[in-house]
Amino acid sequence: MQETSRSIIKEKWHLIEDGLHDGHMNMRIDKAIAHACGKGLIPPTLRFYGWSPPAVSIGYSQRPERDIDLNYCEKHGIDIVQRPTGGRAVLHDHELTYSITFQEENQVIPGHLQGSFKVIGESLIRGLAYLGIDAQLVDGRRNRLNRPCNREPACFSSHSPYEILTNGKKIIGSAQRRFKGVILQHGSILIDIDRERLAYIFKVSPAGDRERLISSFYKKMISLNEVNNDTFSYSDVMNAMIRGFKDRLGIEFSSDTIATEDTEVTEKNNKVT
């Protein structure tokens, strides 16, 4: 009797191993990828990148003049940019950022909100495991415990369902938005943290509350390099995360820098409505 082997065809995704850009360019590229993916011009895409100069990104419904100390940011060369995704303010400095873009109808990630956050979170946890970091997902059934934190303007001040904790502290913060059948999710993976600098980007009144804010950051957030007293490079973290996504999603990547079709869309269609 002749045996027949059944090969498993893996879904192919586009991988962009990017470098450092200013905040406005980073957001234009991600919006362009979402536009192209939604039109079916490119496959689902996972992009990793950094920020130069440092930047504060705010959620699409957040008002910078209400929460952010604009004078401090200008004086210290910190850009301010609005994300196409939701959530609260993030200081992008010593970190790796991921963005993942896919159509709601795809083979590997659920199209609904909680399911997609969970699967992406599990992929990130597998990536952290390759760095020797034990992490957990915030329980999606217990989000009401975090409601008192929701007034804080900083993303890492609260724990949303299916975000990533280690030692009880937030190590990756993520936000998502949907555009006409395409899903874009961003995430900030902290390699190092300057908590004092982070506290000073926010308007704080009375002044004594700034120390309270710094103390809160020490209690609620942690960086990769603080977990096991390691020193990870940008490339170390990116390579581990790529392995984590491949393992969890069971996909293959076509790897490149910014591809021609992405660049063209960035130049011509840098708005997603």
Q: Which of 37, 73, 149, 155 is catalytic?
A: 155
pLDDT on residue 83? 93
CA distances from 161 to 74, 170, 213, 218 (A): 34, 12, 22, 21
pTM for the model stands at: 0.86
CA dihedral 68, 72, 77, 78 (to 10 degrees): -20
Q: How far apart are CA 167 and CA 192, in angstroms?
A: 16
- The single-letter code of the amino acid at 105 is E
- Give Cβ neighbours of residue 56 (< 8 Å, ≥ 6 apart): 23, 64, 68, 73, 78, 79, 80, 81, 89, 90, 91, 92, 201
Q: How far apart are CA 266 and CA 250, in angstroms?
A: 29
- The single-letter code of the amino acid at 195 is R
18: tokens are 């990017």
**Residue listed under structure tokens 């952290």:** 128
Ordered per-residue pLDDT tens for the chain, 273 residues:
444 444 456 788 999 999 999 999 999 999 999 999 999 999 999 999 999 999 999 988 888 888 899 999 999 999 999 999 988 889 999 999 999 999 998 889 998 888 999 999 999 999 999 999 999 998 866 544 344 444 565 555 566 778 899 999 999 999 999 988 899 999 999 999 999 999 999 988 766 688 888 999 999 999 999 999 999 999 999 999 999 999 999 999 987 655 444 545 554 544 443
Q: How far apart are CA 203 and CA 141, in angstroms?
A: 32
Task: Enumerate the β-bridge partners of residue 175.
Answer: 186
CB 230 within 8 Å of CB 108:
no
pLDDT on residue 170? 94
Residue among 210, 185, 232, 188 at smallest CA distance from 93: 188
Residue among 43, 35, 48, 11 at smallest CA distance from 186: 48
Q: Would you say how long the chain is, in residues?
A: 273
pLDDT on residue 273? 39
- List the domain boundaries for the chain: 12-261
Residue among 75, 69, 73 at smallest CA distance from 203: 69
- The single-letter code of the amino acid at 51 is W
Helix or strand (DSSP H, E) at 133: none
Terminal Cα distance for the chain, rounded: 58
- Give Cβ neighbours of residue 195 (< 8 Å, ≥ 6 apart): 214, 217, 218, 221
Q: Which CATH number is 12-261's, of 3.30.930.10, 2.60.120.10, 3.40.50.1260, 3.40.50.740?
A: 3.30.930.10
Instruction: Tell me whether residue 73 is one of the annotated catalytic residues.
Output: no
Q: How far apart are CA 268 and CA 75, in angstroms?
A: 33
